[in-house]
């Protein structure tokens, strides 16, 4: 096996290891919290907030089945990996949009249904969505090179550096939106703490900072993967 093939095999293995961990965490979290979901959501009328919850939860649960097959199944050489990868990107963008609506709804409620806050967060979200759609659709004509290794499983196309920069820009928009939500949440909770918010303030700060830290680390690693990886890096 050549040096290039060896390096490619290592990259594929790393990609598969991280994929296994991600999918395991996704389904472990579902079964870990299904009891609470049944208790607090099932049997009740579906409202706007609960509808967003179900959409985000089950779109991620079932929508990732094709992604699992894309990553680990054996595909014939004539399979169009670009279509599979495009589905993966659209799924990620859709889930991020739903999560954005959930965060906007929570922030809107935290600010006592302030229309100004709603307008600011919605404007940022729309800008991020438009920019993300532009970044993804701009790669429609890009040639995706499928790795060619003996007994290779999965459909993990490689993209060139220009495509990687566009994907990185799209994910950077998500980080900007999350940062805005964190700032608004902390600003409000600090004001509540000054007037004796108590346990609610502690919960908001804890959950808000934890969510931001975890998501920002994940998104930053994704951005760095697109920017720093060598030419024709594997698309995660």
pLDDT for 2 equals: 58
Other C-beta atoms closer than 10 Å to the C-beta of 149 total: 13
Round to whole Å and give the CA distance between 8 and 16.
12
Q: What is the pLDDT of residue 232?
A: 47
CA distances from 132 to 17, 125, 139, 146, 214 (A): 27, 10, 12, 24, 21
- Say how far apart CA 157 and CA 169 lie, in whole Å: 19
pLDDT at 77 (0 to 100): 61
- pLDDT tens digits for range 82-129: 778 788 888 988 998 999 999 999 899 889 899 999 999 999 999 998
The sign of the dihedral angle between the CA atoms of 118, 54, 34, 17 is: negative
**Which residues of the chain fall short of a pLDDT of 70?**
1-5, 8, 76-80, 138-152, 156-160, 196-198, 200-202, 229-236
Listed as own residue / partner, the contacts of 188-192 with beta carbons closer than 8 Å and 24 or more positions apart are 188/110, 188/111
Single pTM value for the model: 0.82
The pLDDT value given to residue 62:
96
Task: Check residue 141 and give its pLDDT.
Answer: 44
Closest CA to 85 of 109, 66, 102, 104: 66
Instruction: Note the CATH number of domain 3-234.
Output: 1.20.1070
pLDDT value for 159: 66
Residue 233, pLDDT score: 46
pLDDT at 211: 79
Among 122, 219, 124, CA closest to 177: 124
Mean pLDDT for the chain? 81
pLDDT at 142: 47
Is residue 171 within 8 A of residue 219, CB to CB? The reply is yes
């Amino acid at each position: 096996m050549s040096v290039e093939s060896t390096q490619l095999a290592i990259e594929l293995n790393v990609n598969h290891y991280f994929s296994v961990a991600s999918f395991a965490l996704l389904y472990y979290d579902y079964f870990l919290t299904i009891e609470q979901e049944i208790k607090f959501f099932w049997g009740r009328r579906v409202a706007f907030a609960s509808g967003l919850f179900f959409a985000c939860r089950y779109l991620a649960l079932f929508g990732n089945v094709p992604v699992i097959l894309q990553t680990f199944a054996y595909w014939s050489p004539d399979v169009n990996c670009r279509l599979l990868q495009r589905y993966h990107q659209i799924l990620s963008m859709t889930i991020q949009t739903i999560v954005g609506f959930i965060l906007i709804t929570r922030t809107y409620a935290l600010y006592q249904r302030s229309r100004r806050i709603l307008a600011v967060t919605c404007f940022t979200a729309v800008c991020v969505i438009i920019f993300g759609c532009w970044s993804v659709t701009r790669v429609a004509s890009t040639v995706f090179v499928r790795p060619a290794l003996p007994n290779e499983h999965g459909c993990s196309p490689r993209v060139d550096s220009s495509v990687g920069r566009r994907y990185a820009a799209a994910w950077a928009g998500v980080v900007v939106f999350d940062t805005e939500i964190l700032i608004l949440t902390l600003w409000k909770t600090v004001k509540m703490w000054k007037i004796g918010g108590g346990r609610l303030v502690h919960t908001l700060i804890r959950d808000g900072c934890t969510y931001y830290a975890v998501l920002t680390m994940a998104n930053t690693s994704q951005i760095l993967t697109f920017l720093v990886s060598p030419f024709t890096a594997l698309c995660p």
